[in-house]
Structure 1
């Protein structure tokens, strides 16, 4: 049985935001807290908490959307420093967490204790604090790192036993096991393996092996080599990171096809580039469980390339250019299939991505779009519809402060073309917004094209927007107002030069 060392930089998504130590910050993804600062934790915010619940517990919470590319780019200098001074080969599990075989390095540095000390010191030289764990498996080592602990060889199963089954990363399985009275990893590991596989499926069988202190997928003896790897040569050498990223996405699809035809999956993926002019090649290994999607591969390739460029590794953005990009799958194991069993899942993100890619092949790249939220004052400005798979390539708008930005809640529907509207006071006169942002007469009646007329029951605002005032031909001065009507509806109105429009609908 091998030994694995894992290194964890706590709260890496928060570290990347460059927030002060006392700042109350939460990094969120898909409406859920991914990581939070110490001050936020002290206020009651926790990981996996819904954003609105977190904001309810901490009124001053600063919410930041996760930027995976920035996390990868910021973590790469730490990885390179460790490779140069402590470990020759690392596997990045995710930004902020990495793993490596520990037997060879431990012998070199004089033992596992000395190895962990070296790793902590090396990360401290990069300006960060790290926790290090050693155990018999990658999963156990990552948990041990959270305790900054070395688990004795052969004691991994006992170390994992007290943990709740939720740490295995299968929420639906954990929920079902808890209902059955199986609440700890040790209790789950005690169940017969064949019964678990028969009743709960292949993913649960992998989790059962993990719970028992062994690697989920036994590795095959055969190396991946060039048989399953793919490459793309660039002639002339390519200097645009965006184009190399796009190629990486296509190569990832080829890797998955080759492995699928051979009924194999890989636990690691190496990304390597060869530079023009015969320069030394560069590579990075990413570890993952299951299938690393094409989009995820592209995100990681772009992140490391940009980090290398920022660090001057290329001698310019990409110096003479990238002559070749190579993807090599490593740590192959037999594909055990995907069984829905009792708690069948809906479509996974990877399946959605594959379906979208097929539609794009048939109907064109622009045929399938995804929504990305960014900076802006108005609701239409904050939402961008971009081709599916290109989100990682789009340049995000600055996060703020955006004076005049509308407060939450956000509208349920934003009209592609604002609807003509008339807002009048009790005397039937058009409601105006003065240069000092005063509303001389309160709104009383609202008429919107296609929706008729209704009495106004409440209003808020106005919120002014003055953009590009230094360019007379492009300057824009508007004001927005939220209005509720007697029929129970709420609208977002915008006025410019005494002309009212309905920009969005709240419900």
Structure 2
């Protein structure tokens, strides 16, 4: 496949990687290995597939591997293929800027569920050679290096085995081995093996912004980005400078996050070893009756278990370092996957991890679907530790009625499917339809378009109380019965006298659109007052012309918001 790997690094992912990587790094850091370090760090091996979102899009058949590809979300480019990067496309660019640099650029939307499901095949291939691997995020697998090194004879052999396993799944990967999680992650990105004890020197000259590589949750990523920004403004720009600071000073100024970052920058584990007994694991399990063979059935049970596990962690004020997902089939087979967690998982993130994992198993995209329907699902929070910042708020606490409503929505969703219960999300936009987006109950409710940003030309308050699922075609007529349109200067061609609903097909949402007071949307409305039209110019680059908005009210107490292109009109909303 190789769509995400840099051309210059392709030879470094072969069996020669280990030897060449060790010699290169050893020469660079041998003079700076700290002597007599009392606290050893965990030796980790990391397998990294470059630009995994791009690779996943290719594996799913959305794009072709030979094309310049960029995966994007609402904010901009998330990942780009090597060919796209050669044209100047970079992560974080706006889509229009990326397309101006590379006119042949092929865009694919970001889909975390697709990334997780497609990565399951790679993880299963790695597990066939090396047991007890942990998925940090799609495209990254972490495992303790000591056991595999003893079995295969050397760390170079471990790297060769991991790269071969990924190749058998159809992707090119890079492997790094080092002391500490941050050093191992960066070593994988450079395809090198860092000698034992040399991680601190390996990291010393690197930018503090590289700390973001260890995060796996949205909250942790945002906090680490803000923290590294503060460090750079204070003049602490390298990991070596952060590691040289006194631990007491860092803890007093930046708290637990600063202490963790300093330890990672020094090539140590994120948390110091504790002499006390750890917190017991937390487990939520459920029998699936009837057995689940379809994704929507399994997703209902998974969401309920994930919310229960998250609520228990919140009540105890703890967080977990690993999430283990187990499933048992009717014929007794066991499916298991472990996710490594850095930071606090929100309820939606925990639910998504479990749902995406089940989708990877049940969809068959891994090449090894379950041998039978699932009969039991178990979620276990491991490496549980106290979290000083995890607690329910004093204000805004979820009440009993809200919890009961949530459980009722989940039960209905289990009967109707994931899209059977929808929740509104406030979005940025101009029309009422653009300013609300419906998502499946329990999914991420983060707005795609920031509603706090200015939206020139948006419909002013108050907004219509009812917005039909689809715009309702109508005709605006004057006293003589002629159609009222809008000329090139934005003026009406006549005085609106009545609005008539255009003929619609049977089952069209217009037939069910009703006024909040209980009145059905009128098929004919005598206009007594009107305002507008207001022109809105948007998406001009796509050839879309101006749209015009018109408000009309009748003596019947019904007011409508109409939109049109100058000739045809549609009812966009009904005012209360």
- TM-score with structure 1 setting the length: 0.73
Hey, what does 1:436 align to over in structure 2? none
User: Between Structure 1 and Structure 2, how many residues are aligned?
Assistant: 434
Corresponding residue SS for 2:381: strand
State how 1:53-202 maps to structure 2 within 5 Å.
Answer: 53-84=97-128, 86-169=129-212, 170-202=224-256
* Alpha-carbon shift at residue 196 of structure 1 (Å): 1.1
Corresponding residue SS for 2:72: strand
Please state if 1:40 is matched with 2:84: yes
CA distance in 1: counterparts of 2:360 and 2:401, whole angstroms: 33
Structure 1 residues 456, 92: closer, same or farther in 2, change over 3 A? closer
Hey, what does 1:31 align to over in structure 2? 75
CA distance in 2: counterparts of 1:30 and 1:312, whole angstroms: 27
CA distance in 2: counterparts of 1:27 and 1:410, whole angstroms: 28
Task: Give a deviation string over 1:230-280, Cα, whole Å, max 9, x none.
Answer: 211223333332232233233233333444454432211100011123x22
CA distance in 2: counterparts of 1:230 and 1:56, whole angstroms: 50
Hey, what does 1:233 align to over in structure 2? 287
Q: 1:163·1:184 contact (CA, 8 Å) conserved in 2?
A: yes
Q: Which has the higher strand share?
A: 1
Superposition CA RMSD, Å: 4.2
Corresponding residue SS for 2:89: coil
Hey, what does 2:43 align to over in structure 1? 3
* Alpha-carbon shift at residue 460 of structure 1 (Å): 9.9
Q: 2:152·2:158 contact (CA, 8 Å) conserved in 1?
A: yes
Corresponding residue SS for 1:17: helix
CA distance in 2: counterparts of 1:133 and 1:158, whole angstroms: 16
CA distance in 2: counterparts of 1:459 and 1:34, whole angstroms: 25
Q: 1:202·1:338 contact (CA, 8 Å) conserved in 2?
A: no
Please state if 1:482 is matched with 2:524: no
Hey, what does 2:491 align to over in structure 1? 445
Q: 1:32·1:49 contact (CA, 8 Å) conserved in 2?
A: yes
Please state if 1:501 is matched with 2:570: yes
Please state if 1:280 is matched with 2:333: yes
Hey, what does 1:331 align to over in structure 2? 383
CA distance in 1: counterparts of 2:308 and 2:233, whole angstroms: 41
CA distance in 2: counterparts of 1:236 and 1:362, whole angstroms: 24
* Alpha-carbon shift at residue 51 of structure 1 (Å): 3.8
Q: 1:251·1:327 contact (CA, 8 Å) conserved in 2?
A: yes
Please state if 1:249 is matched with 2:306: no
Q: 1:460·1:482 contact (CA, 8 Å) conserved in 2?
A: no
Task: Give a deviation string over 1:293-321, Cα, whole Å, max 9, x none.
Answer: 332232222223222223399997x6653
Range with bigger deviation, 143-152 or 361-370: 361-370
Corresponding residue SS for 1:153: coil
* Alpha-carbon shift at residue 483 of structure 1 (Å): 4.4
Structure 1 residues 38, 234: closer, same or farther in 2, change over 3 A? same
* Alpha-carbon shift at residue 360 of structure 1 (Å): 4.4
Corresponding residue SS for 2:321: strand
* Alpha-carbon shift at residue 146 of structure 1 (Å): 0.5
Task: Give a deviation string over 1:321-358, Cα, whole Å, max 9, x none.
Answer: 3221111122233324379xxxxxxxxxx99xx97898
Corresponding residue SS for 1:4: strand
Query: Aligned match of 1:361 in 399, 403, 425?
Result: 403
Question: For the pair shown, which has the larger CA radius of gyration, 1 or 2?
Answer: 2
Range with bigger deviation, 177-186 or 60-69: 60-69
Q: 2:485·2:492 contact (CA, 8 Å) conserved in 1?
A: no
Q: 1:246·1:298 contact (CA, 8 Å) conserved in 2?
A: no
- TM-score with structure 2 setting the length: 0.65
Structure 1 residues 42, 117: closer, same or farther in 2, change over 3 A? same
* Alpha-carbon shift at residue 67 of structure 1 (Å): 0.8
Structure 1 residues 102, 412: closer, same or farther in 2, change over 3 A? farther
Q: 1:4·1:99 contact (CA, 8 Å) conserved in 2?
A: yes
Hey, what does 1:216 align to over in structure 2? 270
Please state if 1:370 is matched with 2:425: yes
Q: 1:223·1:330 contact (CA, 8 Å) conserved in 2?
A: no
